[in-house]
A and B are shown apart, each in its own frame.
Chain A
Amino acid sequence: MRALRVVSPLAALGLWYLLTAHDVVFFLRFDRFPGPGEVLSELGRQVSTGVYWQDLAQSLVRILTGFLLAAVLGGLLGAAVARSRWAGHLLLPLFELARPVPAIALVPIAILLFPGNEQGIVFITFTAAFFPILVSTRHAVRALPTVWEDAVRTLGGGRPRVLRSVLLPGILPGVFGGLSVGMGVAWICLISAEMISGQFGVGYRTWSSYTIVDYPGVIVGIITIGLLGFLTSGAVELLGRRATRWLPSEARS
């Protein structure tokens, strides 16, 4: 039964091969589209060059910097606006105004504001991941049953103890939902920002391959981006599962 799971990817691969090998043109044009063989040999060529790994490392550093900043600030501010009325009244209106703006629309602002390209791209990535993490943290704090906090307080626990022993572990399932979404959006915005204004990075390389008519290089870039997204999302998911092992089995994803 599980063997069925290889059918659809293999079928797609076969279709890709057939369409490109016969230069099929029927509204969609496969005559200039690289086939699996070309892409594979291009991938083999690229992984033996320093540039490929340099781009990959550059994109990873950017995503991790932006994402970690967003995780820390989004988590802290999300908890603050949920716990404190003061913080809520002070900060929420600004967040609600800024949230609908897609982070990628901030590229011109990032270029204006930041002295270098690098900080601008990290800023875009950060903004993309920040809001999903903030919102899910805020919801998680508000959805926390009060009985745990009441129990800890009547056992003599003060505010720091409640934060450490109830709030932090209690909101992790919700927060990890936001981290997963945040990681996805962060990749979208990172790749777009690199395509627009990067000098290195997988997104930049993919777009510049296109402009120099290196189509197999484009596909290699796309595959690399997919792989990086898969690995980083997988890492978030793995951490999330470890942190929420206590959930009843039906609530675990």
Chain B
Amino acid sequence: MTLLLDAVTLAYRDRPVLEGVDLEIRTGEILVIAGASGCGKSTLLRALAGLLPVTSGRLLDRGEPVRGPSADRALMFQDDALLPWRSARRNVELPLAIRGMPRAERTSRADEWLARVGLAGLELRLPRDLSGGQRQRVQLARVLAGGPRAVLMDEPFGALDPQTRREMQRLLVEVWNAETTVVFVTHDVEEALTLGDRVAVLGGGGLADLVEIPLPRTSADPSLRARVLTALGAPALETT
């Protein structure tokens, strides 16, 4: 087990968003957190990243309370999280530079990662000269280059067109290694079922359901889809 939430309550601007969440995130799994807008998905992810303190309950990373951000839990954002004054290469170098890796080594490491996400030849481009999909590839390379134990992804493909989105999902599964835990936030049911080993559905101010998706990921059982949809729909009906 990597991350453990024990009766966690989270607030955003003093208003409780999630209450009494119990969740165990296993090492090396892809856990999808799904839910309608405003259900607290991003808030939960920020807490896991250590950017937001828990109001009550315990949030543990390998048994130790999470007290702040760490290179062990890298956060990937929906858009515009690349430093715009740094080239693609220099963005990917960032976690390596933070670790103190010598320049020559981190440059070749960054270029390897960029090649792996399909951006060979674009190393020197500034973010403004890349497409939305390419920028997210750079972001993916940047979070993975640091070799974190867990990657926390906040609707990372949410701003992309459907085709680019499917490409990015394939790419994620391709470059992801089974030692890295992925926590993936989305409001898209298809995406949740395609990517997740498990889908945690948030709603009604807490955890509405936790669904195991058996392998292979690409052919999710219709009854599981129905279950996720019900879990997503039920709280939505309650709140309206």
Task: Name A's B-contacting residues (CB within 8 A).
Answer: 145, 147-148, 150-157, 161, 165-166, 169-170, 244, 246-248
Q: Are A156 and B128 CB-contacts (below 8 A) given A147-B81, A165-B83, A169-B83?
A: no
B75: chain A residues at CB < 8 Å are 150-151, 154
Which of B16-24, B94-102, B163-171, B187-195 lies on the face that meets chain A?
Answer: B94-102
Q: Is A156 in contact with B83, judged by CB distance below 8 angstroms? A: no
A161: chain B residues at CB < 8 Å are 98
Q: Is B71 in contact with A155, judged by CB distance below 8 angstroms? A: yes
Q: Is A155 in contact with B94, judged by CB distance below 8 angstroms? A: yes
Query: Which 10 A-B residue pairs are closest in the complex by CB-CB distance?
Result: A156-B71, A246-B85, A154-B75, A153-B69, A155-B95, A151-B81, A154-B69, A169-B85, A156-B98, A248-B128
**Nearest-CB residue, chain B, relative to A146:** B51
**Bound-state Cα–Cα, A166 to B146, Å:** 18
Q: Is A151 in contact with B51, judged by CB distance below 8 angstroms? A: no
Please pick, from B80, B84, B142, the residue contacting A155 in the complex, using a CB distance under 8 A: B142
How many of chain B's residues touch chain A, expressed as a range?
20 to 34
Q: Is B73 in contact with A166, judged by CB distance below 8 angstroms? A: no
Q: Are A156 and B77 CB-contacts (below 8 A) given A165-B83, A246-B128?
A: no
**Bound-state Cα–Cα, A246 to B143, Å:** 22
Task: Name B's A-contacting residues (CB within 8 A).
Answer: 49-51, 68-71, 73-75, 77, 80-81, 83-86, 94-95, 98-99, 126, 128, 142-143, 146, 152
Q: Is B69 in contact with A148, judged by CB distance below 8 angstroms? A: no
**Nearest-CB residue, chain B, relative to A168:** B85
Additional 18 contacts, C-beta under 8 A, given A154-B69, A155-B142: A148-B81, A150-B51, A150-B75, A150-B81, A151-B75, A151-B81, A153-B68, A154-B50, A155-B71, A155-B143, A156-B70, A156-B146, A157-B94, A165-B83, A169-B83, A246-B84, A246-B86, A248-B128
A56 to chain B, nearest CB (A): 36
**Bound-state Cα–Cα, A170 to B98, Å:** 18
The 21 listed contacts between A and B (C-beta, < 8 Å) are: A147-B77, A147-B80, A147-B81, A150-B49, A150-B69, A150-B75, A150-B77, A152-B83, A152-B98, A154-B49, A154-B50, A154-B71, A154-B152, A155-B94, A155-B143, A155-B146, A165-B83, A165-B94, A166-B83, A169-B85, A248-B128
**Bound-state Cα–Cα, A97 to B92, Å:** 46
A160 to chain B, nearest CB (A): 10
| Majority secondary structure, B binding face | loop
**Bound-state Cα–Cα, A136 to B68, Å:** 31
B69: chain A residues at CB < 8 Å are 150, 153-154, 156
A246: chain B residues at CB < 8 Å are 84-86, 126, 128
B238 to chain A, nearest CB (A): 32
Q: Is B98 in contact with A155, judged by CB distance below 8 angstroms? A: yes
A162 to chain B, nearest CB (A): 10
B48 to chain A, nearest CB (A): 10
Q: Is A154 in contact with B99, judged by CB distance below 8 angstroms? A: no
Q: Is A145 in contact with B99, judged by CB distance below 8 angstroms? A: no
B51: chain A residues at CB < 8 Å are 150, 153-154
**Bound-state Cα–Cα, A166 to B84, Å:** 10
**Bound-state Cα–Cα, A161 to B95, Å:** 11
B94: chain A residues at CB < 8 Å are 152, 155, 157, 165
**Nearest-CB residue, chain B, relative to A155:** B95
**Bound-state Cα–Cα, A165 to B71, Å:** 16
Please pick, from B50, B83, B142, B143, the residue contacting A148 in the complex, using a CB distance under 8 A: B83
B95: chain A residues at CB < 8 Å are 155-156
Q: Are A145 and B98 CB-contacts (below 8 A) given A154-B50, A155-B143, A248-B128?
A: no
**Nearest-CB residue, chain A, relative to B99:** A156
B143: chain A residues at CB < 8 Å are 155
The CB with the most chain B CB atoms within 10 A, among A151, A166, A170, A248, is that of A151
**Bound-state Cα–Cα, A220 to B104, Å:** 56
A153: chain B residues at CB < 8 Å are 51, 68-69
Q: Is A151 in contact with B77, judged by CB distance below 8 angstroms? A: yes
**Bound-state Cα–Cα, A166 to B94, Å:** 11
**Nearest-CB residue, chain A, relative to B75:** A154
**Nearest-CB residue, chain B, relative to A249:** B128
